[in-house]
Amino acid sequence: MTGHSEGSIVRELQDKSNLPVGYSVVRGRRKTMAVHVRHQAVEVRVPFYVSQTQIQDFVYTHIPWILRKLEHKAAQDSQRPDLCDGGTVYYKARALRVRLIPAMSENVEITDTEMRLHGRGLTPERASKVLQRWLLAQARTVLPPRAEALAAYLQVAGRLKEVVFRKTKSKWGHCTSTGRIQFNWLIMMAPDAVIDYMICHEVGHLVHMNHSPKFWALVESVCPDYRRYVRWLRTHEHRLWL
Ligand SMILES: [Zn+2]
């Protein structure tokens, strides 16, 4: 994921103009106008030369779209993991009830209906730490051997230098040209098939360092249903975000 690449930018905050929230205007070196909705903020990106009236007209014609987007984002926010006792967390495509259980040592227990987080003085923040340490331990156990096995199968074992773990803002995985694969441990919240797809994707980059048709053909050869998993992530990834 890359940010927008306008040169110098000018930010102006606008009035509401029939929207439930204000919007900001970002002027930059670009040819067309575009509107973006991120969380509950609306941003309009425009070329330097357009007038206030043009911007207002542009926003006005996009109000139904903006309102739909804001509603969608609000719905997504309401589905984010809630680690209060009695809250809901989406784990491997199942909505589980969260139970915070006082205990001397940390542990995570998954039943058919519950995610039981054990630990001392658990607040939602501490519970998140307990859960993330557990997910990281799972990631360390599961991901490197699978990545290595797939790299060997694709005859690029020599290119895989290391598998590391990092929680980044926007990525589930990453592969550098030096053969370093990075996984976000939150992916362990996803169904196993989606985890396998992520492994195929990143190991596939050891063969093709791009997202060309050849790369996707390779992914498909080892993960025939990959389109389903890409779609699953697009639809549900906000629910895994701790
Ligand atoms: Zn990629």
Stretch among 16-30, 54-68, 121-135, 222-236 having the lowest mean pLDDT: 16-30
Distance 47 CA to ligand 1 centre (A): 31
Do the domain assignments include residue 121?
A: no
What is the CA(181)–ligand 1 centre distance, in A?
A: 11
39 CA distance to ligand 1 middle (Å): 25
**How far is ligand 1, taken at its centre, from the CA of residue 175, in Å?**
7
Q: How far is the CA of 151 from the centre of ligand 1 (A)?
A: 15
5 domain residue, yes or no:
no
Q: How far is the CA of 211 from the centre of ligand 1 (A)?
A: 6
Q: Residue 54 corresponds to which tokens in the numbers above?
A: 């043009």
The answer to whether position 181 is within a domain reads yes
| CA 168–ligand 1 middle distance (angstroms) | 15
- What pLDDT digit, counting tens, does each position of 55-101 carry? 988 988 898 899 899 888 888 888 889 999 999 999 999 999 999 99
Q: Which of 50, 78, 106 is the last residue of a domain?
A: 78
Question: What pLDDT, on the 0 to 100 scale, is given for residue 38?
Answer: 80
Cβ atoms within 10 A of the Cβ of 172, count? 21
Mean pLDDT of the chain: 90
Domain boundary among the residues 63, 78, 93 is at 78
Percentage of the chain surpassing pLDDT 90?
74
Number of domains the chain is built from? 2
Q: How far is the CA of 118 from the centre of ligand 1 (A)?
A: 36
Whole-number Å distance, alpha carbon 97 to ligand 1 midpoint, is: 33
Co-location of 227 and 155 in the same domain? yes
Mean pLDDT of all residues in 115-119: 97
Considering the domain architecture, whether residues 145 and 236 belong to the same structural domain is answered as yes
Q: Is pLDDT above 50 for 143? A: yes
Q: How many CA atoms lie within 13 A of 233 on its CB side?
A: 18
Is 115 a domain residue? no
Q: State pLDDT tens for residues 186-224.
A: 999 999 999 999 999 999 999 999 999 999 999 999 999
Ligand 1 centre to CA of 187 (Å) is 15
Which domain covers residue 51, as residue numbers? Answer: 10-78
* 202 C-alpha to ligand 1 centroid (Å): 6
Q: Let me know if residue 1 belongs to a domain.
A: no
Burial call 68-100: b when 16+ CB within 10 Å, e when fewer:
ebbeebeebeeeebebeeebbbbbeeeebebbb
Q: Which helix (H) or strand (E) holds 96?
A: strand 94-102
Ligand 1 center to residue 196 CA distance, Å? 14
193: domain CATH number? 3.30.2010.10
CA of 3 to the centre of ligand 1 (A): 16
* pTM, to two decimals: 0.78
Half-sphere exposure of 10 (CA within 13 A, CB side): 11
Report the DSSP pairing between strands 114-119 and 94-102. Answer: parallel
| pLDDT given at position 3 | 40
Q: What is the pLDDT of residue 41?
A: 83
Residue 76: the pLDDT is 85
Task: Determine which of 15-24, 64-73, 156-165, 166-175 has the lowest per-residue pLDDT on average.
Answer: 15-24
- Is 69 in the same domain as 144? no
For ligand 1, the distance from its centroid to the CA atom of residue 201, given in whole angstroms, is: 6
